[in-house]
Each structure stands twice: as structure tokens, then as C-alpha cells.
Structure 1
Amino acid sequence: MADMADAPPALEVLRDPVSQSLRGPHARFARTRGRISRYDPAVSVFYAHPAELTGDDWADLRALAGPDSTVGLRGRRSPIPEHWTLLRTVRLLVFSGAELHTRPDDAAVVLGPNDTDDMLTLIAQTQPGPFTRRTIELGRYLGFRDEDGQLIAMAGERMRPPGWGEISAVATAPHARGQGLAGRLIRAVGAHIVGRGDTPFLHTSADNPARALYERMGFELVDEVGLEILSVP
């Protein structure tokens, strides 16, 4: 794994991809209060915040999230205030796709607003991570449909820190697994990212079996960070 403490500037961006995205290519989705930013909640669930949060930061975080909601904090180092509850911690892995062999796939279809219901159905079946009706606004999404027109696999792009594009929402219907569809879509989405001059990357949890696929495809582990899910008082 690369040492992020001594990482080159291009790799250092991945230490805090949410804030880098919201200050850059995804600025139009940013909702900001003080030092805390979040994506428009209709689009995505992610928050940007300093590692050391002050009392004002916690108050701004609560104001942005709303009471009785949940927030995800990445690499928090300051104590959790009274009445906030840590629900769980996910060991998050960050993979660079600088060595990914990308290629377009003519059989993949571009997914748009008219495909959202099918995409949400597939997401519900496979649970690859947070996805809302407007998440497709973050980037390009591709998929495969079977002979009956059913969406059986999809992948797309989520965060956009400068110089990078995150491959996300990689999902294959249970009955369509083992055909290499996920790998094809990862390479095809990656080809779109590379085509505009950026480098693919992705996140996964440490216990996700898909990690083995990503490593076989050439993704390199460059960082590990704790993602904490907290209940807002």
C-alpha cells in the first residue's frame, strides 16, 4: 500500500475525496455550513469535514444533517460529543485504478433518468452502497440488460476529486453473476474516466469479497480509513 503521508499531490487528493469533489467538479451539489459540507441529500449521503471537529463544527454538522438522522464521518480524530451515538465503524479501503486496463464495451447501454426505477430495483437486490434516485447526476452510468429487457448489471461514477473519477454502484443481479459483467462495466466506466483525462479509483469495505476482483484487475490499495456512522441527536 502506498504511504499517504508521503503521497504525491495527485494521490493526496484521495485522502479527502468528498471535500475535494465538493470544492471542485461537484461544487453544484454542495450544501455548506461553516467548515462542514455535504452533498445535496437528494443526490448522495456523503459529508466533508475536518478530522478535528470543534464545537461549532459539530453544531454545523447537526444543522446540515437534521436531528434524528445519521451521518458518516471519515477519519475523525476529535471526541464524539454527548448525545451523539456511534452506530458502527466500517474499515474503508481506497484503491487507485491507475493500472486498470480500461476499454469501452459496445454492449453496455448508457443509463439515464428513464432507467432509474430499474437501477433502484437492482440496487435493492444487491446492496452495493448508498444510491438515490438522483445519484445518476454525479456521472456516467452503464448497464447490461438481458433478452427480456431486465437490467442485470450496472456500474457508474460517483465522486469527482480533481484528476480522479470514482467507480461505484457496481452491481450484478444474483442470477447473472459469474459471467464477468461487473469486470466489463468497471473497464468501460474506467474508459470514460480515462477518456476525459482522469484516473479511476474506488472504495470498498475491507470485508467485501469483491476486493479480490479489483486487485486482479490491477487496482492498487493506497489508503485505509475508518468510516464512522453516527446518530445525530
Structure 2
Amino acid sequence: MIELEEQLKNPVWYSLMETHKKFVVELNGVQFYNPEVCTFGSFFDETKTTEAANEYLKTSDNFFFVSEGQTPIVDDTQVFLEKKIDGCQMVLNKLTDVSITENIVLLGDEFIDEIYDLVWLVMPGYYRKRTFEMGKYFGIFKNGKLVSITGQRMQTNHFTEVSAVVTHPDYTRKGLAKQLIAHTTKEILKEDKTPILHTNKGNPAISLYEKLGYELTRDMNWWLYRKK
């Protein structure tokens, strides 16, 4: 079994090797998620990404290569780099004690549309309805309306990623995200796994994650490619 530290260097790859292997699309030694679920791709050998990218774009108009330090090689007659997100990985050291005062609900299939609508309201562009299948989602309701969520995305036998930290603009600065992250983190710890998360460098939310006990560990960059 690959140890945690090695898995964290290439989390997409190892998620598709273990917990999410049912979603894997393998092309020329490069691994992608089924584009209906998530549009992340992973590799070890960047010389194989050109052919794989061209093939994957037959099923999706865009996708991300996720890499700590390597730069993918693509066919610029077929593909263009829309943007590179300079990201970072954070790993839980020790969870800070957080008072949970909100009623946090495990969200079932009946909330798929509401989750999708809330994510697209706050962070439009990349979330797919079937992203819900990657892990558990938790939410807070106000007046019968879903206003804040967290989810679980990439995961292996060793780690689970906290993701989709989203709050409706009318309900920000009320501590909802803080409580949801703490709750989701505790749920991961119950499974004897290490909680991790990813964000872009300079994100103001990093200070919140650090207060909750997460530490910056490495770069983890997202290369967003689109079909020409």
C-alpha cells in the first residue's frame, strides 16, 4: 500500500487508484475522472499528457491537470491553457475545538439539485451534479433553505479531502463554514483518515483553515485546459 505522504504528492492519481477507481478513465498512462463526475486529470510522465488530453477532450470541453510541480505538455493546435491556478495543499495537524451550535445535516440524494445550485451561485463553472457521488455532503438550512455546505472530494484509504466549502452570500460571516469544516473534519477522523484540503494561494480562507488546525504543506497546481 502506498503511504500517505506519497499519495498526497499526487492526490488525483491515488484517489482514482483506490476509493474512486470506479470513476477512472485511463488514457495513455494518464488518469482522469469520468467527466460527468469531475474533470480532474493526473499523471507522472508529462510526455504522455499530449495524446491523453486530446483524447479526453472528445468527452469534455475542458479539464484540469492537477500537479505539484510538473508542467503538462499539450498539443497547442487542439488545446489552450485557459488559466493556471497556483494552489496549495493543507493537511490537518490537530483539529481546534469548535463549538457546533448549528444543526448540521447529512445531505442525501434529494438535495443534489440544491447543492448544485448553491455551488454554481457562489463558485460557478466546474462543479458537476455527479460530483456529489465523490463523498459525503453536509449542510445547514435556514428557513427551509440550504444556505451553507461542505463536501468530500478526492479520497483514498489514507486521506479524504474537504471541498465545496460554500455559503450563500446572504449568510456569510456567521460562522457557518467554520462549523461545517469542523464537522466534516471530525467525520473524516472517525474513519481513521487524514483530512486535507486544497485552495488557491492568497485565499483569505487560509487563515480560517489554519485556525481550525490545518497547515500548509505543499504547492498543488491546477492547469485548466480547454478545447480549441
TM-score, normalization: structure 2? Answer: 0.89
Partner of 1:61: 53
Report whether the alignment pairs 1:70 with 2:75: no
Residue from 102, 123, 132 that aligns with 1:136: 132
Partner of 1:160: 155
Partner of 2:92: 97
- The aligned amino acid for 2:55 is A
Residue from 13, 16, 25 that aligns with 1:19: 13
Determine the C-alpha separation between the residues in 2 that align with 1:179 and 1:66.
43
Partner of 1:86: 81
Determine the C-alpha separation between the residues in 1 that align with 2:175 and 2:76.
48
Partner of 2:40: 46
| 8 Å contact kept, 1:102–1:188 | no
| 8 Å contact kept, 2:40–2:66 | no
Determine the C-alpha separation between the residues in 2 that align with 1:68 and 1:137.
19
- CA-to-aligned-CA distance 1:7-66 (integer Å, 9 cap, x gap): x94223111000100001111111112211211111111112225223xx4223321231
TM-score, normalization: structure 1? Answer: 0.87
Partner of 1:4: none
Superposition pairs of residues 193-232 of structure 1, within 5 angstroms: 193-232=188-227
- CA-to-aligned-CA distance 1:163-190 (integer Å, 9 cap, x gap): 1000000011111111111011111111
1:103, CA displacement in angstroms?
Answer: 7.2
Determine the C-alpha separation between the residues in 2 that align with 1:49 and 1:127.
26
Partner of 2:112: 116
Residue from 23, 26, 29 that aligns with 2:23: 29
**Distance of aligned partners of 1:78 and 1:61 in 2 relative to their CA distance in 1, 3 Å threshold:** closer
Tell me the SS of whatever aligns to 1:107: coil
Tell me the SS of whatever aligns to 2:116: helix
Report whether the alignment pairs 1:150 with 2:142: no
**Distance of aligned partners of 1:219 and 1:173 in 2 relative to their CA distance in 1, 3 Å threshold:** same
**Distance of aligned partners of 1:104 and 1:193 in 2 relative to their CA distance in 1, 3 Å threshold:** farther
Q: Which segment drifts farther, 119-128 or 89-98? A: 119-128
- The aligned amino acid for 2:131 is T
- The aligned amino acid for 1:229 is L
Gaps of 5+ in 2: none
Q: Which segment drifts farther, 65-74 or 153-162? A: 65-74
| 8 Å contact kept, 1:102–1:190 | no
Share of identical aligned residues, percent?
Answer: 26
Tell me the SS of whatever aligns to 2:144: coil
Bigger strand fraction: 2
Q: CA RMSD in A?
A: 2.3
Partner of 1:3: none
Q: How many residues align?
A: 223
1:154, CA displacement in angstroms?
Answer: 0.3
